[in-house]
Amino acid sequence: MNILTKFEQLAAAQPHKPAAADETHSYTFAQLRDTAARLGARVRKEQPEGGPVGVLVRRGADTAALFFAAVYGGCFYVPLDPDMPARKLAVILADAGIRLVLGAPGDEAVLQAAGFSGSLLTPAEAAPEAAALPDCPDEAPLYMVYTSGSTGKPKGVLKSHGAMRSYIAAFAERFGLTGEEIIGNQNPFFFDAAAKDLYYMACLGASLEVIPSEKFIFPVRLVEYLNQRRISYICWVPTALAIVTQLNTFRQLLPETLRHVFFVGEPFPIKQLHKWLSTLPELHYVNLYGSTELAGICCAYEIPRGELPQTLPMGRPLPNCRVFLRGEAGFVTEPGVLGELWIVSPALALEYWGDPEKTAAVFTEETLPDGSRARVLRSGDLAEYDGAGNLVFVSRKDFQIKHMGRRIELGEIETVADSLPEIARCCCLYNDVKKRIELFCELNPGVEAEGKAIQSLLRPLLSDYMLPARVHVLDKLPLNPNGKLHRQAMREMM
């Protein structure tokens, strides 16, 4: 079934309800449907059905219309960051084979700098008549997101209509969320995490508020904006949530309409999570776990009300997922034994674009514990079960190193360092050239300490072979555009 089928039903049933809005502009469901379908009619004339359409995305409600226009045109969209280096944009455009881009007036300069010779369409060039719904089966591509590859070359991960429909249905079933929510979007639309917000709106009928990026620089203004727009649901990266508590925003102002605080993408520093839980204990807090290689997420942990956890599990699978741990000796079921996370779900991605070798290595046919065969995502994430049967993330396989003859999880060192009251956030990396562990950290306000002092604090908490040989104290740890720790930028400092 086409992903737009439910959206069409919502536009007919609640035409005047706000669908997507930013600080200066908004669409009702009827307006969003009309804008997307009419521009989709132009897409259908310009681009062969089923092909890729690039979308230059900005922090605004218009981006939703551009995404859906590509789908109404019978194509799949590829989100593009207009601020990325022209050379990188050129690589993505060429790799995806994009000949048509949707964007805004003035985007010609961005595309020219990247050497693009195809066509640019803007909403002003929409056709007078709306496009009919394309006939897309579940396996038809819906969108493709590019992520950084281990070789430095971006890789495209292709998602299907059926994968997204499966995820949204499971998400709604698990959490009982409805179209009454007002979503506060934080993730840029060229990152995969933003798709959760977009399709929650399009398939469940909630309203989507795109929060201006500058609000996250001034947390008091951010909370003011949440209250003004009556935002009830957020799904942010933990770094964005931690900014609020690190600057003691709640002493000045509290969220008034917020009910659901979901977080995804990286571990939430426990000290900052406790500040949220202690100040606003009545809210619904959920830790989500997912992967770029599937639509949405596959595991979740709902924090019991009144609890201040010392570690934060990934939780249990969504209804549309089966999750297994594969250890060196076979499948793991007992607590405390490390294994790679294997995921079976209709929400798995279709492929790595143009890379059948990597696709075959990551998406494999495997025999499961019950003897059945299934397509499996070998996630590369290492986890274990806790005593309650929850999955607990330990590290990435590529964060596991061998140092001084020992296998070490860099994530374990980060967890210990983060427990120090002096440290606001940290990142642990391995220097392959000098063969040593290095820790980057940002200190809490009012704390003054050099790297050697932090190293001394860690010494009684870590085995000698795990102790960072060098600690870098930075005013601010670098973040990528999605608000996550920018590990590559720190690696270049080593």
Given this model, what pLDDT does residue 408 score? 78
Indicate whether 406 pLDDT > 80.
no
234 and 359 both lie in a single domain: yes
DSSP string, 369-391: TTS-EEEEEEEEEEEEE-TTS-E
Let me know if residue 99 belongs to a domain: yes
Question: What percent of the chain clears pLDDT 90, i.e. is strictly above it?
Answer: 74
C-alpha–C-alpha distance, residues 84 and 86, integer Å = 6
| CATH number of residue 143's parent domain | 3.40.50.12780
**Sheet arrangement for strand 470-474:** 423-431, 436-443, 470-474
**Residue 112 has what pLDDT?**
95
For residue 457, the domain's CATH number is: 3.30.300.30
- CB–CB of 203/7 below 8 Å? yes
Is residue 38 within a helix (H) or strand (E), and if so which, with residue range? helix 29-46
Residue-level pLDDT at 151: 44
Tell whether 171 is covered by a domain: no
Q: Rounded to the nearest 5°, which phi and psi values hold at 274?
A: -60, -35
- What average pLDDT does the chain have? 92
Cα distances from 228 to residues 2, 170, 201, 257, in angstroms, run: 35, 31, 19, 9
Indicate whether 413 and 354 sit together in one domain. Answer: no
The reply to whether 375 and 463 lie within a common domain is no
The tally of domains found in the chain comes to: 3
Residue-by-residue DSSP string for 409-427? EHHHHHHHHHTSTTEEEEE
Q: What is the pLDDT of residue 150?
A: 44
Q: Do residues 241 and 278 share a domain? A: yes
Q: What is the pTM of this model?
A: 0.83
Taking the C-alpha atoms of residue 62 and residue 26, their distance in angstroms, rounded to an integer, is: 8
Q: What's residue 183's pLDDT?
A: 98
Q: Which residues contact 32 (CB under 8 A, 6 or more apart)?
A: 11, 19, 20, 64, 65, 68
Structure tokens at 291: 């992967």
Find out whether 198 and 172 touch, Cβ atoms under 8 Å: no
326 and 459: one domain? Answer: no
Average pLDDT over residues 277-286: 96
- Residue 208, pLDDT score: 98
Same-domain status, 378 and 421: no
State the pLDDT at residue 412: 78
In a domain, 304, yes or no: yes
Residues 236 and 367 occupy one common structural domain: yes
172 in any annotated domain = no
Q: Could you read off the pLDDT of 76-98 as tens digits, one per residue?
A: 999 999 988 888 899 999 999 99
DSSP state for residue 190 in the 8-state scheme: T
Q: Give residue 191's pLDDT.
A: 85
- Domain co-membership, 381 together with 430: no
DSSP-derived pairing of the beta strands 339-344 and 351-352:
unpaired
- In the three-class reduction of DSSP (H, G, I as helix; E, B as strand; rest coil), residue 58 is classed as coil
- Tokens describing residue 141: 């591509």
Q: Are residues 418 and 391 in the same domain?
A: no
**Structural domain contains residue 325:** yes
For 291, the domain range is 211-395
In a domain, 16, yes or no: yes
Q: Let me know whether 297 and 425 are in one domain.
A: no
Given this model, what pLDDT does residue 212 score? 94
In a domain, 370, yes or no: yes
Beta bridge partners of residue 52, listed in sequence order: 76
Which DSSP state fits 213? Answer: G
Return the structure tokens found at 118.
């195809």
pLDDT tens column, 220-276: 999 999 999 999 999 998 888 998 998 889 999 999 999 999 999 878 888 899 999
310-330 residue pLDDT tens: 889 999 999 999 999 999 889
CA dist 165 to 162, 399, 434, Å? 5, 32, 48
3-state helix, strand, coil in the chain (%, to 5): 30, 30, 40
Percent share of the chain, pLDDT over 70: 97
- Mean pLDDT on 40-62: 93
